[in-house]
Chains A and B, each alone.
Chain A
Amino acid sequence: MPSVMLKKNAEGKLVFYVPKKDLEEVAETVEFDTPEKWGGEVLLSDGSKYYFEPIDGQPDFPVTLRAKRIDSGE
């Protein structure tokens, strides 16, 4: 359950940063990414997958959230 700092980059893509692992990665896809609902599975560009408990509405980026690691992508 790593704490993940999320922010949007200049292109509007989600940037994923795990301080403990020095992991700075752009998210390829986010399962739910609408103004009403956000979260679910997030696929990073290195192939790893994380899961966020879906929430109502968009979080106020940048924000730190708890994620569950599903797949390390290796």
Chain B
Amino acid sequence: MAALTKEETEALIQEVLEIYPAQAKKDRAKHLAVNDQSLEKSNKCITSNRKSQPGVMTIRGCAYAGSKGVVWGPIKDMIHISHGPVGCGQYSRAGRRNYYVGTTGINTFGTMNFTSDFTEKDIVFGGDKKLAKIMTEIEQLFPLNKGISIQSECPIGLIGDDIEAVAKKANKEIGKPVVPVRCEGFRGVSQSLGHHIANDAIRDWVLENRDGDESFPTTPYDVAVIGDYNIGGDAWASRTLLEEMGLRVVAQWSGDGTIAEMEKTPKVKLNLIHCYRSMNYIARHMEEKYKIPWIEYNFFGPTKIAESLRKIAALFDETIQAGAEKVIAKYQAEYDAVIAKYKPRLQGKRVMLYVGGLRPRHVIGAYEDLGMEVVGTGYEFGHNDDYDRTIKEMGNATLIYDDVTGYEFEEFVKRVQPDLIGSGIKEKYIFQKMGIPFRQMHSWDYSGPYHGYDGFAIFARDMDMTLNNPCWKQVKVPWKTDDTSKVAVAAGA
């Protein structure tokens, strides 16, 4: 199907909005837009970071998900207590595939679930005593932990427990950092506020731990990788490139990261931000307090990688700049071969994305390297500054949707008819049943890494594997069957 024109896209948005009651229609209209590259600022065309409409299917998470799941969870040598009822911790356990090195249960705890397992009694009488007790138990059972963070679930804020006091007391007793995080799920409109709260907790309880301690030997080439959660090994694929060009990666925030690395971050010369949305707060804070500059970079697809490597190198001396060119040249044969193999199979295919964080704009370059086109994109929990950065990456007259509802997304897909959709697990089976190839782009559909040159090869293979899978020819989609009975046809039957 040919690409939609600007008018057609606008008409499509209006058509989709038709079903809503007047008030909801007015509100949702602000969140859907047709991309116009001539705009400098996104607030002219799209509203973001607002409360979802009651009654629609939103795909967002909560503040606890933003703090425990995204920012704190991957710090491997700390124990993160999901403080409250058991479900929040259990159902989010290990789902994000933040890989790490270490022996789980001995010196690393990434995939384990620690919870205070609230019952009625704790809600009525308060859970502070229980929290103090489990921290003592943790210290006995897992003596090699390097610290504890307390991730609040909704009831903690509702019943007014004083977790800060418990944390301070425990910190004195066990002599390790104990960080209370006020990330109750009801705070904010999405997981985005959870990222902010988690960043603030790091700022207040971790970052200044080594201020005035100059014992850590520094070099002029020290950098920190911030906002890379090592999903399927992403941070490792990124780190090797930075190290090959001559930089020293002091800290990984927070995929495969440790608390010691975080404490050393104020000593670095430059902060490299991959996921802007979840970690820009701490980068801005470090810039102000420690005068550490930060830049955003993008390690998806060879074009963007080369661009980013050169941008990073420009902030250092000639040895690093030469190093960057050497790295790009070294991998050229490798990525040229990937493109030569997969581009003919993927050329001209159209993709719709709906993810969170950095991906709605960062992966566009990787798709373009494979000759594919992104015809719609949107953020679950993006803010205006994310959309500012997206407008230039997307083609004109493409769809942009903020906090898209289940209904809108399905209608857009039915009309735009993309060849591939990249979104989350909740959307996956709906679209597969509609006969459209789908990649789960939150945790790379159990694959990865996708960052770096190594990741690009895997990315290209995965997209080809999904798109050109013969099973899609076997699926009859409801709108192509001539009889009116809309019987769902199982995929790959």
Q: Which residues from chain A sit less than 8 Å from chain B, CB to CB?
A: 5, 7, 17, 19, 22-24, 45-46, 62-64
The 6 closest A-B pairs by CB, nearest first: A22-B383, A22-B384, A62-B288, A62-B287, A22-B385, A24-B385
> Does B281 touch A at the CB level, under 8 Å?
yes
Chain B neighbourhood of A24, CB < 8 A: 385, 388
A22 touches B49 (CB 8 A): yes
Sample (10) of A-B pairs whose CB atoms are under 8 Å apart: A5-B284, A7-B288, A19-B281, A22-B49, A22-B385, A24-B385, A24-B388, A45-B40, A62-B288, A63-B288
Q: Which residues of B contact A46 (CB under 8 A)?
A: 41
8 extra interchain contacts, Cβ-Cβ under 8 A, other than A19-B281, A22-B49, A63-B288?
A5-B284, A5-B288, A7-B287, A7-B288, A17-B284, A22-B383, A46-B41, A62-B288
Proximity string of chain B (276-316) to chain A, C-beta cutoff 8 Å, 1 when within and 0 when not: 00000100100110010000000000000000000000000
Cα(A46)–Cα(B44), bound, Å:
10
Interface string of B40-58 (1 = CB under 8 A from A): 1100000001000000000
Contacts of B41 in A (CB 8 A): 46
Docked Cα-Cα span, A62 to B285, in Å, equals 9
B residues adjacent to A (C-beta < 8 A): 40-41, 49, 281, 284, 287-288, 291, 383-385, 388
Residue of B at shortest CB range from A26? B40
Count how many pairs of residues, one from A and one from B, have CB atoms less than 8 Å apart in the complex.
22
Q: For chain A, what secondary structure do more than half of its interface residues adopt (helix, strand, loop), or is it mixed?
A: strand
CB of A64 within 8 A of CB of B49, answer no
- Bound form: Cα–Cα A40–B281 in Å: 27
A5 to chain B: closest residue by CB: B284
Q: Are B384 and A64 in contact (CB under 8 A)?
A: no
Query: In the bound complex, do residue B388 and residue A64 qualify as a contact, i.e. CB atoms below 8 Å apart?
Result: no
Please give, as numbers and ranges, the residues of chain A lying within 8 Å of B385 by CB-CB distance: 22, 24
**CA gap between A45 and B49 in the complex, in Å:** 22
Q: How far is the CA of A29 from the CA of B47 in the complex (A)?
A: 27
CA distance A24 to B446 in the complex (A): 36
Residue numbers in A under 8 Å from B288 (CB-CB)? 5, 7, 62-64
Distance of A45 Cα from B44 Cα, bound (Å): 14
* Bound-state Cα–Cα, A11 to B123, Å: 55
A20 to B40, CA, bound (A): 20
B384-A23 in contact (CB<8A)? yes
Complex CA–CA separation, A23 to B388 (angstroms): 10
B292 vs chain A, min Cβ distance (A): 10
How far apart are B280's CB and chain A's nearest CB, in angstroms?
9
Q: How far is the CB of B308 from chain A (nearest CB, A)?
A: 15
CB distance from A74 to the nearest CB of B (A): 10
Task: State the Cβ distance, B207 to closest chain A Cβ, in Å.
Answer: 16
Report the Cα distance A63→B287, complex, angstroms.
9
Q: Which residues of A contact B284 (CB under 8 A)?
A: 5, 17, 19, 62
A23 cross-chain contacts in B, Cβ below 8 A: 384
